[in-house]
Amino acid sequence: MAQLNRIKLVLVEQGKTGKWLAEALGKSACTVSKWCSNTAQPDLKTLAKIAQSLNVKVADLIKEPVE
């Protein structure tokens, strides 16, 4: 699967863990792990909650397409 999001990178930059994010969102650690590895993608509503939790813009969580 294509690397569509930067969730893991933003977590590392902020010194936070997937477990922290899972607890902040009320999601399972397994679900957050799938987002971080790009094997699954959060829906847009959840992506907005992730951005709010990390105090970043939604655009900061999405990779730019490479042409």
Residue 65 is predicted with a pLDDT of 64
CATH H-level superfamily of 7-55: lambda repressor-like DNA-binding domains (1.10.260.40)
Residue 57, amino acid: K
- What does each of the 67 residues of the chain score in pLDDT, given as a tens digit? 578 899 999 999 999 999 999 999 999 999 999 999 999 999 999 999 999 999 999 999 998 766 6
Residue 66 is predicted with a pLDDT of 62
Helices 18-25 & 44-54, crossing angle to 10 degrees?
110
Q: Domain residue spans in the chain?
A: 7-55
Exposure string of 20-30, with b = 16+ CB inside 10 Å and e = fewer, is bbbeebebeee
Give the predicted TM-score (pTM) of the model. 0.90
Residue 1 is predicted with a pLDDT of 57
